[in-house]
Amino acid sequence: MSVALAAVSLAHGPVLGDTHSWIEPYGAVFNKAAYWNPVGVPGEKDAASFDLSGAYTVRFGSAVTHSQLLIGDDKVDFDLGRYTYDWTSAKPAAIYLGLAKGDVSRIGFLNGVLRSGPGVIGGVAGSDANITVYGGTTWTNSGLLAVGGYGSGGLTITGGGKLVSEYASVGVGGGARGDVFLSSAGSRWDVSGGLTVGGKGTGQVIIRKGSTVAVGGAGHQEARDGEARGWNA
């Protein structure tokens, strides 16, 4: 998986529909129209944006499908309530964290199923972003997952959480930093097509406490309960 190919997917807009911005700083139910600007839950062609410089939890009352999820300067947990959450965009990225320099972007996913196109964690230089996949959550992403696009990106899989990726690159652009950390027995990351660690940036993958990373592509590789640094598959 080349860095040149990875760079193609590092943009976050525009989408086909509208961008709906979350406006409730204390957290609430995703599926309620009044908590969005413009009013209305994002539709299938729309983007959902979270950029309140706050810390809160958003709960799900039903399954949700829309085009793109954008996380700016915000710290938010999504309690999926055992529902399925889909982001369908193939280009631009379906999930994008770190929209501007100085953004501290954090999101955690609990108790449900995620399905997405490509993702970028820490897209813009000077941003600091992290996704946590908690136990009870399975995320399947097609295309590239870039952990550290041009900023600092982190991916944490813990408590038995699971992620299945098509391709992944950790530390993509010049000056980028990517860190992947798996902890707790049963936490797992499967990458079917190939994993690059440290492209033009720097990156590491750390695997501990009975967690697993399995990489396909040119020969299957698997690491369990140890450390993998500078892993290039």
Beta strand 188-197 with 162-170 is parallel
Tokens of 222: 């698997």
Q: What is the pLDDT confidence band of residue 233, given thresholds at 50, 70 and 90? A: very low
1 pLDDT above the threshold of 60: no
* Section 150-175 average pLDDT: 96
CA distance 77 to 68: 17
Q: Report pLDDT for 220.
A: 59
Q: Report pLDDT for 5.
A: 39
Domain presence at residue 233: no
Q: Report pLDDT for 87.
A: 96
Q: What is the pLDDT confidence band of residue 3, given thresholds at 50, 70 and 90? A: very low
Q: Report pLDDT for 15.
A: 60
CA distance 153 to 181: 11
Q: Report pLDDT for 8.
A: 40
**What is the average pLDDT score of the chain?**
89
pLDDT per position as a tens digit, 94-150: 999 999 999 999 999 999 999 999 999 999 999 999 999 999 999 999 999 999 999
CA distance 143 to 193: 9
163 pLDDT above the threshold of 80: yes
* Section 1-20 average pLDDT: 58
CA distance 62 to 131: 22
Of 218 and 96, which is predicted with more confidence? 96
Burial of 153 from C-beta contacts in 10 A (0-12 / 13-18 / 19+):
buried
Q: Report pLDDT for 17.
A: 86
Tokens of 225: 């309960």
Q: What is the pLDDT confidence band of residue 184, given thresholds at 50, 70 and 90? A: confident
- When divided into structural domains, the chain yields a total of 1
Give the angle 149-151-153 at the CA atoms, nearest 5°: 70
Q: Report pLDDT for 92.
A: 83
What domain range is 192 assigned to? 3-228
230 pLDDT above the threshold of 80: no
Q: What is the pLDDT confidence band of residue 12, given thresholds at 50, 70 and 90? A: low
Question: Residue with structure tokens 């989408």?
Answer: 15
